[in-house]
Amino acid sequence: MMNWLKIITTLTMLSFFSNANAEGYCNDGIIAEEDANGVITFKGSQEGANCSFAPDEYTVKIYKMALCTTAPTRPTTTNTYDVSSCVDVINSPDGQDVNLAAGSEMILSDATRPADGTYPYGYILMANTFGIKAKKQFTNTMKTYQNGAAGNYCWTKDATAFASDSDVVGWTNPTLLAQCGGAGGTAGTYTETLDAFDTDEYITGPISVLGGDITADLITDANGLVVTATQTADRLFAIQTFIPIEPVVIAPSSTEFTVSFGVNQAASLWYFESPIGSSEYQVYAIGSGPFSTYMSAN
């Protein structure tokens, strides 16, 4: 049934996966604060302090979404995932690009209405690349790593990189991924490939999210197996277990399937304070942060 699936992007506080750059939150009152106008102030002298916030645009590519009557089996390094109990809600062999700008709403094609029933589980298969466009204002002095321009604004540039590049070791000087300076800067689209959740970590979860728990695995499309090295994954496979009292129920009257994405922490800085205690920060990139999904039917 065309136009049966609706995507809504919210600013709900959710957490999907976390990598080394995505564990902060810019409203904790200790590391950083983000005011009502979205301006961030870093506090204290936290070297490598983390901070995540909502980007202006956040683009993902979705291949499949499905609902399941029993729990799918996660992939391993030797066995692919088992989704035999699942029915497709969306199946796009070439993928559909979805811009998850906060507050947006869109209709996806290639959608199918599942049979009436109760579905305690769901899964999503998507590319492990994220297109991030963001421009952020700070009260601190932010410097373009390492010897570039400085100012109270930083923004993404048109560039690509792997999430595993977030380790300070091997950073290019000057960075090609972000720019800091004055208010007149224009953001480009930075495309990040999530090739590891942390050092040598290619699976994560279960993680508690709004509406249940979620797991995520980095795999290849060729064999559906969990990868064992950086820069090798090309898909992200995630399973959501809905809380028992809130499964997705498809009733005879159901006409709409809604997937809400929380993106208020979907961007995060790769940066560090230098010198320590100066409230001046070296910024290498504005990379991906955590997001989550919440599924429902009406």
Reduced to 3 states (helix: H, G, I; strand: E, B; else coil), residue 284 is: strand
Structural domain count, the chain: 1
Residue spans of beta strands (DSSP E) within 69-176: 86-99, 105-107, 117-119, 121-126, 129-133, 135-144, 150-156, 159-162
In degrees, rounded to 5, the angle at the alpha carbon of residue 111 between the alpha carbons of residues 88 and 262 is 85
**How, if at all, do strands 117-119 and 248-250 pair?**
antiparallel
Q: Average pLDDT over the chain, rounded to whole?
A: 81
* pTM exceeds 0.85: no
Containing structural domain, residue 198: 5-297
Over the stretch 228-274, which tens digit does the pLDDT of each residue have?
Answer: 999 999 999 999 898 887 888 888 888 777 777 766 667 888 887 77
Over the stretch 1-37, which tens digit does the pLDDT of each residue have?
Answer: 334 444 444 333 223 333 323 333 565 556 778 888 8
